[in-house]
């Protein structure tokens, strides 16, 4: 791990990945809170997390996986 962190580019890459992951998780948390505020329903807020989780878990089953140039992975 020290060898990896000795490289400046690796540190920038890992820092970017950590910030991206935190941002993605904060988005879904904020969305659940926003739904709770707008609707007053805890179950509707819970459905936000359910829908997010279903999308992740069903992606390999349904065959929809973001790959190729359409997903910006060129």
Q: CB of 73 within 8 A of CB of 67?
A: yes
What local confidence, expressed as pLDDT, does residue 30 receive?
A: 92
46 phi and psi angles, rounded to 5 deg: -65, -30
Record the tokens describing residue 34, joined without a space. Answer: 């926003």
What local confidence, expressed as pLDDT, does residue 36 receive?
A: 94
Q: CB of 73 within 8 A of CB of 66?
A: yes
Record the tokens describing residue 39, joined without a space. Answer: 């609707």
DSSP state of 63: T
pLDDT tens per residue across all 74 residues of the chain? 788 788 889 899 999 999 998 988 888 889 999 999 999 999 999 998 888 888 778 777 776 655 555 555 54
């Amino acid at each position: 791990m020290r060898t990896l962190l000795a490289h400046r580019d690796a540190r920038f890459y890992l820092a970017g990945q950590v910030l991206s992951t935190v941002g993605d998780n904060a988005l879904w948390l904020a969305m659940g809170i926003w739904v709770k505020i707008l609707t007053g329903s805890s179950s509707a807020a819970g459905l936000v997390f359910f829908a997010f989780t279903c999308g992740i878990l069903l992606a390999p089953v349904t065959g929809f996986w973001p790959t190729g140039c359409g997903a910006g992975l060129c």
